[in-house]
Amino acid sequence: MKRRIFNEGHEIFRSTMSKFVQTRIIPQYEEWEARHCVPREMWLEAGREGLLCPTAEEKYGGLNADFIYSMIIMEELSSQGVPGFFLPLHNDIVFPYLQKYANEEQKGRWIPGCITGENILAVAMTEPDVGSDLVHLQTKAFRDGDHYVVNGSKTFISNGQLANLVVVAVRTDPDNPSSHKGISLLVVETETPGFSRGRNLEKIGLQAQDTSEMFFEDCRVPVKNLLGREGEGFKYLMESLQQERLVLAIGAAAAAVGALRVTLDYVKERKLFGTTLGKLQNTRFTLAEVATQVQLGQTFLDELVLRHMAGERLVKEVSMAKYWVSEMQFEVAHRCLQLFGGYGYMKEYLISRFFVDGRVQSIYGGANEVMKELIARELGL
């Protein structure tokens, strides 16, 4: 079905992005999975292709494009089974913090490099002992002249090995040790003394994505790297969650599209019991149900994207999307893999990657149990 959300310019951009995925990412992706990291050169190459921070203003070197361009990047990576190249995190989850809250001096210092790929972005909130519970954030920063001195640790940080600009949530008010008050955001340049990376964490999926620990030991961060106002960090983080959860839902829907596509191709060719697998009633009914779920999720998201771009508050709706679409994605991958039989359990078949990569979707960006709690609150419960 033709999706009305896209115009001619969007479709031209999709062709560019799709070709980049097919010619530059897919041929190398298994190697990146084995290394658990995407080469830095690929970020620079993506920058040269105009695939980094497309919404950035032209005066910094950006395209000043609308959010749908970012959506296309997400969809092509996820639908073609290469989601470990975490461009959406850089473009649409972390970069908006700079776009919204950085001052002009900071924007001029950081944004051009984010567009070229010289700067790779990460956001560090999650901590080993408290998870993503920002109210009990333990990483502290105290003011010492023209610097903040940061001490603490973070974990599960995506882009953690490659990132050289990290938006770090810290507690700058020691008088509120268990409160959202006094949380600030510092942009830490990773060559700063006192900053160190931990190991590249082993995961069951998203093997090409570098996910790391980070440590801060008397790390002296210039005061000029404070993002926005001191003590306003919790508010900034909450304001950014709508887009973050929408981004995750878009990727989940696109991955479901990809899983359905490779399965349709397989069952039309696979011979079984004297016919093709696609002619058997169980296969036909299963894929009819799967295709319906995929269509419903994508249609819902297309509407939400337009409403998000119009500036609507969509806490309930994006929570619904993140929860329902991510669970739909995993169910689709599970049911499609079953139709491959034993071959579905083999890494050489792309459906296996859709399956293992899909498991994290209901966990990160706010677990789906949290999404249900937010939905219930919005319902007045």
| pTM as predicted | 0.95
Mean pLDDT of 137-149: 95
Tell me, what's the pLDDT at 175? 74
Q: For residues 175 and 73, what is the distance between their CA atoms, to the nearest angstrom?
A: 43
Question: pLDDT tens-digit profile of 236-288?
Answer: 999 999 999 999 999 999 999 999 999 999 999 999 888 999 999 999 999 99
In 261-361, beta strands by DSSP E: 271-272, 275-276
The three-class DSSP label of residue 342 is helix
What is the rounded average pLDDT of the residues 189-207? 96
Say yes or no to pLDDT of 174 above 80: no
Which stretches does DSSP call E strand in the chain?
Answer: 121-124, 140-144, 147-158, 165-171, 183-189, 195-200, 211-222, 226-227, 271-272, 275-276
Q: Which residues contact 249 (CB under 8 A, 6 or more apart)?
A: 297, 301, 304, 318, 321, 322, 325, 326
Determine the angle formed by the axes of helices 233-269 and 67-79, rounding to 10 degrees: 40
Residue 115 confidence (pLDDT): 98
Q: What pLDDT does 173 receive?
A: 86
Q: For 8-119, which CATH superfamily applies?
A: Acyl-CoA dehydrogenase/oxidase, N-terminal domain (1.10.540.10)
Across all residues in the chain, what is the average pLDDT? 95
pLDDT for res 130: 78
Structure confidence at residue 156 (pLDDT): 95
**235-378, CATH topology level:** Butyryl-CoA Dehydrogenase, subunit A; domain 3 (1.20.140)
What's the rounded mean pLDDT across residues 172-201?
Answer: 89
The answer to whether residue 244 is catalytic is: yes
Per the structure block, which two tokens stand in for 168? 């770090």
Q: 369: closest CA among 132, 181, 138?
A: 132
What value does the mean pLDDT take over residues 40-64? 97
Alpha helices in 80-180 (DSSP H): 87-88, 95-101, 104-116
**Both tokens of residue 212?**
């790391």
Instruction: Evaluate if residue 180 carries a pLDDT over 80.
Output: no
Tell me which of 176-190, 251-265, 341-355 is least confident.
176-190
The band of 178, judged by pLDDT with boundaries at 50, 70 and 90, is low
Q: What is the architecture of the domain spanning 122-231?
A: Beta Barrel (2.40)
Confidence of residue 1 (pLDDT cuts 50, 70, 90): low
- pLDDT of residue 93 exceeding 90, the answer is yes
pLDDT, average across residues 146-169: 97
Marked catalytic residue, from 75, 232, 244, 327: 244
- Residue 308, helix vs strand vs coil: helix
Domain boundaries, the chain: 8-119, 122-231, 235-378
**pLDDT band per the 50, 70, 90 thresholds, residue 179:** low
Average pLDDT of span 110-134 = 91
